[in-house]
Amino acid sequence: MENQTVNEGKTMAIISYIWWIGLIIAYFMNNNTKNSFTGFHIRQSVGINLLSLAAGIISSYINGTVGMIISLGAFVFWIIALIGAIQGEEKKIPLLGDLFQDWFKGIA
């Protein structure tokens, strides 16, 4: 990926990892510029946020222990993805990164 593309999209990529609000802001701001680096991180962030939501639902209604394990995994994935955005890398999260890119390819 070009260094200019990374530099232009780095701020929005980082913002996309700030909960749902940052994700929405990054999504709408990226609609104007269509930066591929930002788009990559928006898709990763959507997947991580949905994983966190699923962990909360599982923890509340099904099994608290399983929900906590999934929630801890989502937190670790969030840290990995945020560090990748800060470093200017398109680092996919382990296990689910490819799936998130495929499932949410229509986003950003």
Is the pLDDT reported for residue 106 higher than 60? yes
Give the pLDDT of residue 61. Answer: 86
Distance CA 32, CA 29 (A): 6
Give the pLDDT of residue 45. Answer: 94
Give the pLDDT of residue 74. Answer: 93
Give the pLDDT of residue 59. Answer: 86
Buried b (16+ CB within 10 A) or exposed e, 80-105: bbbebbeebbbbbbeebbeebbeebe
CB distance 40 to 88 below 8 Å: no
Is the pLDDT reported for residue 1 higher than 80? no
Is the pLDDT reported for residue 96 higher than 80? yes
